A and B are shown apart, each in its own frame.
Chain A
């Protein structure tokens, strides 16, 4: 077996006294789609940001293609980012740029594509995520939440990255739109042959896009396995989470 695309070992991250990640161990194989589930505020977004080098972990190691990510220089980070794409939880579209300029950002700024060609490419990717070409010249603030997610998705895949991160791609969308986004994620990941790490607490979405699921609880990965294994597991934490029950070992601080 080849080495994993991403290998996280004993990752720790705290903000002040608040410990968020408390020894994460996780591996993602090349071309695999891993979904991390976990309650609100358990540090799922923090985990993704550590892998991307946006946040610096306190301890531990993250290898991407066998190269250490923790503590590398800005230049090396830029190189690292050029093979990654990210769909942000809140979209994070640049509101000073038009929709197509958002999608083409990486193409223009990093791959030095001509603006004309970049716009054509952006329109092609927009169509791929189900948006008509006349959306291209709008400003992101003129779009609905679902459309913004699609644009965010288009921006994430436009540079054809090897690794794509999806931070709660379906949160805040109606069930049908969620399913459309799920299909788009599967299509674009399989189409690019990319490795994908998705974060969600939408179980329908997790079931659909995951090759493998991992559950984050109190700063640790407490369970991982396939969807089938998940349905058969005796792990009480996982069972409570997938059933969405307030009764069980997971206590919500109110």
Chain B
């Protein structure tokens, strides 16, 4: 009879599936609660400010390094690739498009996810396992408003700013390689960059950045908030937040690109 093995198989399949959907439900609830609390007073401006500095200012070096090398690599790659078709002149515009649309938002977000998402998960996770979150509650303070909303708000505001800076630095990286290594005429390179500049390229990058900022903060806070079981639990939360937000960033990168550019 085949019924037995099928039953067994379904049973094996059932448990993880149930876990998966209950997690998904839990996460959706958490997201809804976070968003709701971003828009309802009281607002803890001090906390928002501290997060803005933490996420924005201290991420600048990482974002700058990432984007400048990304721009430089794209200049090299596109030059060697396009020279096969005699299209070397396209280097400036390829750098411009790939940095603003893709590289600056995606790479910056991945780096910030490693830096900030992990820190959020670790901090909130520690507060959870040492009962500091319960302590907030007993002091009539909503942890969603005091801890989570400031992180989400700051992250959504600051990621686009970081990406804008990353755009400039990345394009500059391409320019340096183009002019000093590949021998382009500086004036021509700049002119071709400016001629190809389109608002849509920049705005899609910034929309992506805001969405990625949301993902990073929410996944960092979610994993921290739900962590249990001491130091090991906090460690798991940190890892999970980086892995899950990185994957979500890549998925949403595709989805948003599709929304703007698929015909």
Contacts and interface: CB of A to CB of B under 8 A. Distances in A.
A237 interface: no
A88 B131 contact: yes
A91 B130 CA distance: 8
A215 to B, nearest CB: 25
A84 B138 contact: yes
A86 B141 CA distance: 14
B232 interface: no
A90 B142 contact: no
Interface string B127-157: 1001110111111111000100000000000
Contacts of B141: 105, 109-110
B130 A78 contact: no
The bracket for how many chain B residues form the interface is: 10 to 19
Interface string A78-122: 110110111011111111100000000110011000000000000
Contacts of B127: 94
Contacts of B138: 52, 54, 81, 84-86
Interface string B113-138: 00000000001001100111011111
A49 B134 contact: yes
B137 A92 contact: no
A84 B127 CA distance: 21
B135 A88 contact: yes
Interface residues of A, number: 28
A53 B138 CA distance: 9
B130 A92 contact: yes
Contacts of B140: 78-79, 81-82, 106, 109-110
B54 to A, nearest CB: 11
A92 B135 contact: yes
Nearest to B33: A74
Interface string B84-109: 00000000000000000000000000
A88 to B, nearest CB: 5
B134 A88 contact: yes
B202 to A, nearest CB: 36
B130 A90 contact: yes
A188 B130 CA distance: 25
A90 B139 contact: no
B53 to A, nearest CB: 14
Interface string A197-217: 000000000000000000000
Nearest to A85: B138
A93 B132 contact: yes
A209 B138 CA distance: 23
A88 B132 CA distance: 9
Contacts of B139: 81, 105-106, 109-110, 155, 159
A54 B130 contact: no
Nearest to B50: A96
Contacts of A90: 130-131
B131 A81 contact: no
B132 A54 contact: no
Contacts of A82: 140
A94 B142 contact: no
B101 to A, nearest CB: 38
B95 to A, nearest CB: 42
Contacts of A109: 139-141, 146
A93 B141 CA distance: 14
Contacts of B142: 74, 78
Nearest to A106: B139
A79 B137 CA distance: 11
Contacts of A91: 130
Contact of B135 (A53, A94, A96, A159): A94
Contacts of A49: 134
Given A88-B131, A109-B139, 12 more contacts: A49-B134, A78-B142, A81-B137, A81-B140, A89-B131, A91-B130, A92-B131, A92-B135, A94-B132, A94-B135, A96-B123, A110-B139
27 contacts: A49-B134, A52-B138, A53-B137, A54-B134, A54-B138, A74-B142, A78-B140, A78-B142, A79-B140, A81-B137, A81-B138, A81-B140, A88-B134, A92-B131, A92-B134, A92-B135, A93-B135, A94-B132, A94-B135, A95-B126, A95-B132, A109-B140, A109-B146, A110-B139, A110-B140, A155-B139, A159-B139
